[in-house]
């Protein structure tokens, strides 16, 4: 299983909502959480994801974000070194 990345997550959001909507909600989450840029840690991705689930009004995006969170948890389970300290 590949390591979760901001670009991968953004692509998943774009798949369900289109690129413009994905960028808009991604930028809102980045500003709200302070997780800016594309070189985000798994912890930063998780923080953004939780913000999106709580604050995004777009149901397909929330579902895609939940899917990303599941993938993150699976990745951490399969790769113990990826778990937060």
Q: Domain-by-domain residue ranges, the chain?
A: 6-82
Alpha-carbon gap, residue 2 to 81, rounded angstroms: 14
Give the residue carrying structure tokens 């909502």: 17
Mean pLDDT computed over 22-32: 97
What confidence category does residue 81 fall into, taking pLDDT thresholds of 50, 70 and 90? confident
Mean pLDDT computed over 7-20: 97
| Per-residue model confidence (pLDDT) at position 26 | 97
Please state the separation of Cα 61 from the chain's center in Å: 10
């Amino acid at each position: 299983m590949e390591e979760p990345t901001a670009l991968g997550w953004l692509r998943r959001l774009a798949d369900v909502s289109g690129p413009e909507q994905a960028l808009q909600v991604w930028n809102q989450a980045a500003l709200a959480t302070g997780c800016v840029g594309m070189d985000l840690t798994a912890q930063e991705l998780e923080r953004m994801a939780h913000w999106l689930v709580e604050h995004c009004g777009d149901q397909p995006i929330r579902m895609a974000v939940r899917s990303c969170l599941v993938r993150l948890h699976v990745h951490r389970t399969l790769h113990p070194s990826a778990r937060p300290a």
